[in-house]
Structure 1
Amino acid sequence: MTTTEQATPKGSTLLPMAIIGTLFFVFGFITWLNGALIPFLQIVCQLTGTEALLISFSFYIAYVVMALPMSFVLNKTGYKNAMSLGLVLIAVGCFLFVPAAEAQTFLLFITAQFIVGSGLTILQTASNPYLVKIGPAETAAARISIMGLLNKGAGWLAPIVFTALVLGNFADVSAQSIEALPAAEKQVQIQQLADSLVTPYIGMGIALLILAVALRFSGLPELDLHQEDDKLDATGAAEGSILQFPQLVLGVVALFCYVGVEVIAGDTIGLAGAALNVDGHIGLTSYTMFFMVIGYTLGLLLIPRVLTQHQLLTLSAALGIILAALIPFTNPESDTLSAILWGWTGIGTLPDPITLIALMGLANAIVWPAVWPLALEGLGHFTARGSALLIMGIAGGAILPMFFGAIADSAGVLNAYWMTIPCYGFILFYAVKGCRLTKW
């Protein structure tokens, strides 16, 4: 890879952190828009629930399909150019929403989502290793924790902005109210809803293009991985397959497990709340998100001043095992845990099993920022392909919740959380042993 400037741990990381922070805000905003977009397009395109979930599927499948191709693009263009290209791809996907909305064509929406996901894939593949390499390795998890805070903040903001800009004049519209209208009036209402997407997505596309140009001509230094390659060449490790690095391969499995349990903790807490007849169970995900933010903050404060990345990852995995093991045994009639944790603030308390599920967010938060620097350590020019493999670990968020659902249907939703114990167990193995392996 041709480099123009050298990014070293000794150099200032302020500018790179500010630029990458902006990109992570974009990640969060675009990703968490899916939660609002799915029910909206279900109305506009008159979809079944299963069909509506294809909107999310087409988005996340891009991470698996496009990760390795994007790594080759990354090696050819360099990290800064690749990030600019990712922003352009997302903008193209946003612009494609315009004809999709005008024609109310679901296939176009699906295509647009895939393009947006592809753009995010190259952004993630480039920006995560950039954060690892732009400063000292021992503080990499802290840098990624800062990005996690920005990402989750954008995730909180995205549905609010979508509702204000797109649904401002349609606050009372629902699938049921649309279905009750006469045929002619129904079509007019649907078209008006579809048209409301046009201006926000054009604006978002233009903003992304401006950001892409600004990034391309910014002072963001290019990564120089030649020094690592020189060290690897001395042992012959720079030759051969990317699969020769056990810390990377095992890191991919760790992230597969992590994303799976993260999605389970965030997306199934509402199902558990419904099973226990908890009021407002639809919004329970916010509790899991809150504890994830606390986890990111702790990572920022503790690494490396108090704990190393290995130590905090070990504690996180152990906490996950304990929480998952306790969930089925706690009394659903008791709210003692939430009363102790936040009941004194006046916020409503929750049954103890629901509180334990929410606390899984705390156990999950540090895993992503800790695994990345440990998995990419010493990869040299394999870094881009290693990053792509790690991104493919996101597939765990699609596969493991399906197993959770099958177990919940047969054994009960609270008992299904036991399936996360082997996942946390592997993360614990990676923290203690797997990340330290340099040879198979």
Structure 2
Amino acid sequence: MAGPVSTVSATFDGHAPAPAGYKSALSLLASLFFIWGFITVINNTLLPHLRSVFELSYTQTTLIESVWFIAYFVASIPSARLIERVGYKKSMVIGLVIMAVGALGMIPAARLPSYAVTLVALFTIACGITLLQVAANPYVAVVGPPQTASARLNLVQAFNSLGTTFAPLFGGYLILGRSTSGTAGADQVLTQAERLADAQAVQLPYLIVAAVLVLLALIIARYPLPAMGSSRVAKAERGAHSLWRHRNLVFGIPAIFIYLIAEIGVANLFINFVSQPHIGNVTHEQASHYLFLLWGGMMVGRFAGSFLMRTISAERVLGGAAVGACIVMLVATFSTGPLAMWALIAVGLFHSVMFPTIFTLGIRGLGPLTEEGAGLLIMAIAGGALVVVQGWLADVYGLQLSFLLTAACELYILFYAVWGAKPTNAFPEQSH
């Protein structure tokens, strides 16, 4: 990693009431969580489609998603610097415009068709999403009582899950449902003409996505977002503190990284897994409807997690989720038929609370270092790029056995919940 990512503060004065329009501003931010979740999960229906169009191996297919998450590593530092230079509001607008440009890039990628242009277009979309994430996640986490930060971020992340829940239906209907590969059996071999025709199916959905992004950018540009207060410490004072003395952050960065390997591996290989004859024996289009249930479970889990964390510690909820996720992944790996399919669907419920809970536990007690720690946690989302490792495992050992990697990831999350999340050298907690 290349040092601190964000020196931008997102805190309000702890002794002043929330600015006017604060609740409506959070509602607008919820729309951003929705849209980036929606666009990210379109990839889950796009990847099996591209696998057929370009005749890709599992390794090449998951490489597409790896490029997507490499953007988080590449764009996090520039995003933080841009926010410091132009402010949160303009940065959000710029992020949405960047995403729209990438979505429009999918149209020439389909017309050619070109695997390389597809990678560039998706990388561009992901850079825009990174900019939104660097701004929105710390904002929500630090505004309000520290004791309810996990509950608050789980609640807003539930709107992200709402987007991820609807995305498979959108992609299933407009991409898989309008292509030969999406409606054919798992073993059918497509002709060259059919593959070229299928490539065109992505143009309409991404044109719609681009139009929505531009509209949302215009709304935010005209919306009077409350000004963010500044609690940046002087450079000399800041030099007296070290991020690496905070155990919850040090172990939280790999926790985010490893969790993303698990979440993205399941989501990206779900349709191929369910459509196999010995699992669900359905078409890719039909499998996308079950993917809707996976992401729906994440939405339900985040609402439930937000409620539970009002009375149960975030560490306990996270530990229970890690145990549950490990169990269902082992069932999915070593069973067949509906049992394996429903076990894989169930992991969404357990994964639901992991990202927002790890994030808030990771920045707990960082005080004036909160935004720098948050930036490093956002950068760790690049862990999703290692989904290519699971693609390689699927090619070499079989798709089903590759989910043992996911089960191993859950064990690290359990370790973090039990021990790694305990803060050391914590600054006194203050309400924001």
Q: Which residue of 2 aligns with 1:109?
A: 118
Aligned ranges 1:162-201 → 2 under 5 Å: 162-166=171-175, 169-170=178-179, 179-180=190-191, 186=193, 190=195, 192-201=197-206
Q: CA deviation at 1:369?
A: 1.7
Structure 1: how far apart are the matches of 2:271 and 2:114?
A: 31
Q: Secondary structure at the match of 2:139?
A: helix
Aligned to 1:210: 215
Number of the residue aligned with 1:297: 303
User: In 2 relative to 1, CA 92–124 (structure 1 residues): closer, same or farther, beyond 3 Å?
Assistant: same
- Please say if 1:370 is aligned against 2:371: no
Does the Cα contact within 8 Å between 1:238 and 1:380 map onto a contact in 2?
Answer: no
Q: Distance in 1 between matches of 2:384 and 2:324?
A: 21
Greater shift, 63-72 or 109-118, is seen at 63-72
Provide the C-alpha distance between the structure 1 equivalents of 2:179 and 2:335, rounded to a whole number of angstroms. Answer: 39
CA distance in 1, matches of 2:329, 2:144: 39
1:248, 1:386 within 8 Å by CA — same for their partners in 2? Answer: yes
Q: Deviation at 1:211?
A: 1.3
3-state secondary structure, aligned to 2:303? helix
* One-letter identity of the residue aligned with 2:227: E
Q: 1-side partners of 2:41 and 2:332: how far apart? A: 32
Q: Offset of 1:44 from its aligned partner?
A: 4.2
Q: Which residue pairs with 2:412 in the alignment?
A: 423
Residue correspondence of structure 1 range 230-241 to structure 2 within 5 A: 236-237=237-238
SS in 2 for 1:179: coil
How far apart in 2 are the matches of 1:23 and 1:39? 26
Q: Deviations over 1:320-364 (max 9, x none)?
A: 236636976999789xxxxxxxxxxxxxx954x776665544443
Please report the RMSD computed on the Cα atoms of aligned residues, expressed in angstroms: 4.2
Tell me the residue number matched to 1:324.
326
Partner-residue secondary structure (3-state), 2:227: coil
For 1:268 and 1:176, locate their aligned partners in 2 and report how far apart those are by CA, in whole Å: 16
Hey, what does 2:95 align to over in structure 1? Answer: 86
SS at structure 1 position matched to 2:254? helix
The Cα offsets for residues 140-181 of structure 1, whole Å up to 9 and x where unpaired, read as: 222222233222222222232234445665467659878346
Work out the CA distance in 1 between the residues paired with 2:13 and 2:225.
Answer: 9
2:17 paired residue number: 10
Q: Is the 8 A contact 2:251 2:421 kept in 1?
A: no
> 1:120 and 1:7, CA in 2 relative to 1: closer, same or farther beyond 3 A?
farther
Identity between Structure 1 and Structure 2 (%): 24
- Aligned partner letter, 2:373: G
Q: 5+ unaligned residues in a row in structure 2: which ranges? A: 1-6, 428-432
- Residue 49 of structure 1 deviates from its aligned partner by 4.4
How far apart, in 2, do the equivalents of 1:4 and 1:316 lie? 26
Could you tell me the TM-score, scaled by structure 1's length? 0.76
Alignment CA distance shift 1:312-1:362 (3 Å): farther
Asked if 2 retains the 8 angstrom alpha-carbon contact of 1:84 and 1:216, the reply is: yes
Distance 1:385 1:430, change over 3 A: same
Larger radius of gyration: 1
Residue correspondence of structure 1 range 41-60 to structure 2 within 5 A: 41-60=50-69
Q: How far 1:203 sits from its partner (Å)?
A: 3.4
SS in 2 for 1:236: helix
- Of 413, 426, 431, the match for 1:438: 426
What's the offset of the Cα at 1:51?
3.1
Task: Give a deviation string over 1:283-307, Cα, whole Å, max 9, x none.
Answer: 4655654443332122222333x23
Is 1:256 matched up with 2:265?
A: no
Counterpart Cα distance in 2 of 1:6 and 1:415: 44
Counterpart of 1:387 in structure 2 is 374
Contact 1:126-1:384 at 8 Å conserved across structures: no
